Structure 1
């Protein structure tokens, strides 16, 4: 094996997120009992899957169903780069509520929602995911896979009061590393139904609701002239880069740019 480089970042729980740079190497046929969801970043991923040779190009997602035999190899001198997350199908099934596991024909998807969700889950490998963030990613990936595979979600009534109790709890505890199990206990509703209802009633996920509350606090601190590092710490972000990325995604500019604009 020549010029083989692999970096790994451990995700919350038992799931693994990592980035791999592979050149002049190949994986022999193998399988595993978890989902593998990968984004091809550069080069061409080539693999045999269910009796057919597949190729994934940059910007496409590779979705390997549990216990499906596959291999992998480079097809150009440059090799390829990808980022990947593995997810226990039991965790995904809890989000799906007893429906069959989604299957992506050919193992490759260009579905917009699925790609956006993967990009979010794999954007930063320098830090572990928060507990609620990890649960949020698994839930969103399960729903995106359902959509990409053509499955339809079963309609069910929403529990407004449970959702609103969870909302109030988040408003009082946004600075902590929350998890769905806490929200389940507070709301009195199953955490996966609560996660679905939260999105339906409030238009966002519990984790993104937490992040927005932290960002609202950060606006006040920045307006007071507090430093970015101090603001990131006091607003419960992992570090300054995590704070900057979340701020830019929410407001379209970095916190430093926003702070400078206030002084003009």
Structure 2
């Protein structure tokens, strides 16, 4: 019998949840909504169809700030023994997991692979109800094998895309570093134009083309993400917006409520409630 587990997780209200892999390889598939995953200084934002992976003995804290859309995720855990049973002489799946360069990583799968992964994961949820069906063990093994292979392919493809685009996106990488470094300050296109010796119009156009969002929207969301971190630490709201680089409380309040569907104080209360629970 293969040693694995599949769990469906649904959250309608803001919450914080500790995820730990134990002795398993863990794969979290976000099927609806957006969540933040963080561990020590590392942070990832995952939305619908994103994968989040971590290896045995590791974990992450999942933060769902609430909002208009609920959060739905599928959590698949596979033991080293299960991966060995699904492997063959040509492909050792556990070894492949350790070759793919991640400890904890968020992956955006190609649309075709993502659709297949989601379909397989949802099918895996219903497998326990089919033990009396024809060739159930063989069907289960085939389903799991296909799921793991597609997840690994998604990781490999993501790495290849990053390698192929590294030179093309060099300016963007430098731009992200600059924004992160100066996130607690007011960042304008004029500043970026002077810092990179590139037209502000070109910066704005390229940022929108390569990321799908405006530069202003990205900066505001990054500031809000930092503010959420300070709120989770228990800092006063009157201090949070200054630490996050917002010039005034009203601007911070409007941006926070528009992004998360709740006020900063409501978010603080939800974090406190989850911590006590």
Normalising by structure 1, we get a TM-score of 0.38
Higher helix share: 2
Report 1 or 2 for greater relative contact order, CA contacts < 8 Å, sequence distance ≥ 6.
2
Normalising by structure 2, we get a TM-score of 0.36
